[in-house]
Chains A and B, each alone.
Chain A
Amino acid sequence: MKSLDEFVALFAEQLDETDPSSVTAQTKFRELDEWSSLLALSLISMIDEEFDVALKGDDVKNSETIEDVYNIVVSKI
């Protein structure tokens, strides 16, 4: 099981334009300039690959911070 920090790092890898060091568990990812529905698709793919968890569109919509997403992933494992 990956830790929250590892999850944040994996999340940051999906981003192209945001400095990874500025991304934390408390980052409100949907407020990032580069956040888009395409990134949401990459996020779903990454979570499937790394955690074998099927994240739904609503899970992304209902999350505010990266930690919120992590908690949903953990609850589905």
Chain B
Amino acid sequence: MTSTETRTMSLTLNIWRQRDRTKKGKMVTYHVTDVSPDMSFLEMLDVLNEKLILSDDDPIAFDHDCREGICGSCGVMIDGIAHGPEQTAVCQLHMRSFKDGDVLDIEPWRSGGFPVVKDLAVDRSAFDRIISAAGFISAPTGTAPDAHATPVPKGDSDAAFDAATCIGCGACVAACPNGSAMLFTAAKVAHLGLMPQGQPERDTRVLKMVAQQDAEDFGGCSNIGECSAVCPKGISMETISRLNHDLLGALRAGAVPTS
């Protein structure tokens, strides 16, 4: 069986080191040996960090938590690709995707909207502010009718679910040549706009979310599609069409843009 093979690898890692938001960063080269193909990418970094700690060096900071591809905490650029060569969150990337002798450049997400916090960790609070602006249905606790009061066509519900699986990791922004957060915003607009419960606020939602996205340091969307290509949840470009449709609809209905 492949998993019991003892083949190990040696790799050279060029890793972005930056003490905090205010200091200048630089690439630093590390060598790792005895890397098992069954290790996850983050476990490989764990092993390197253990060595750095014991040699009085500063371990590499990277955000991570669930390590099963669902919390959205982790994410780095590997050789310029968000989350690396497989279309999955980097915690689910395993070293069998690499080969002995590889030289890898490992960098944090790069976008004005995501300032570096330390090393490979960035500040993604701009995403929360976009949700906070209008990425919700106003339904205070206790106000809900019976769950079966409003049937939802299965096709709509399934499409809403597909959009709602976005984990907010930020790979879309990191991959976009413009540093646009359009796929993230669009996923939420599509999710809520497809549900009957989301209709009353549909116009104001898209206007406010887009306005907040513009207020953050993100670039504009020019439909390149890198975002969807690296998205670990495969959020479709169709969500962006839905956002544009809703935005135009809201503007044509006479709404005044809030940005």
- A, B bound: no
